[in-house]
Amino acid sequence: MDIKIRTLERKDLDLVHQLDNERMTMAFWFEEPYESFDELVSLYDKHIHDDRERRFVVDTDGKFAGILELVDIDFIHRTTEIQIIIENTFRGKGIATISMKKGLDYAFNTLNMYKVYLYVDVDNVRGLHIYKKLGFVEEGKLRKHFFANGKYHDSYLMGIFREEVKY
């Protein structure tokens, strides 16, 4: 299986739109589902030249398998948040782990970030397993910090430094 990350292009927006409209997927991202396609295009156009974000497609054997994003890139403090969504049919195959490694490599070795962090729902067992396996460390628990699917959720703030990544 050939897994790579590549820049998100306008041609990918139809597939991103499908991911953005999966209620359970977006709940793990603490985002509201059911985004309109026009809104997605508008956001893409607005952020295409934003230096504080990098958006990638997870490409598996030439197929769209998900998205990986580096957001809130801070070039003074050299920190960024990382986010990933893998499409349902590609889950459970190790694609998220490999993609996260590629995203971390980009953050540390291309953008020269000092620290990468993420937020993860305390009930997201799969995500927690992947992040801990990669070397992320729980830095704190945010109580009832995010609202999704009709209730508030606790979330872990997790972080990693370049030397902690388990490639």
pLDDT tens profile 144-160? 998 877 889 899 999 99
Q: Active site includes 106?
A: no
pLDDT tens profile 9-49? 989 888 887 776 665 655 555 555 656 777 777 778 777 87
CA-CA distance, 137 to 134, in Å (whole number)? 9
Q: Which of 106, 131, 156, 167 is catalytic?
A: 131
CB contact at 8 A, 22 and 86: no
Half-sphere CA count of 154, side-chain side, radius 13 A? 7
CA-CA distance, 95 to 57, in Å (whole number)? 12
pTM of the model: 0.87
CA-CA distance, 22 to 42, in Å (whole number)? 20
pLDDT tens profile 52-106? 999 999 999 999 999 999 999 999 999 999 999 999 899 999 999 999 999 999 9
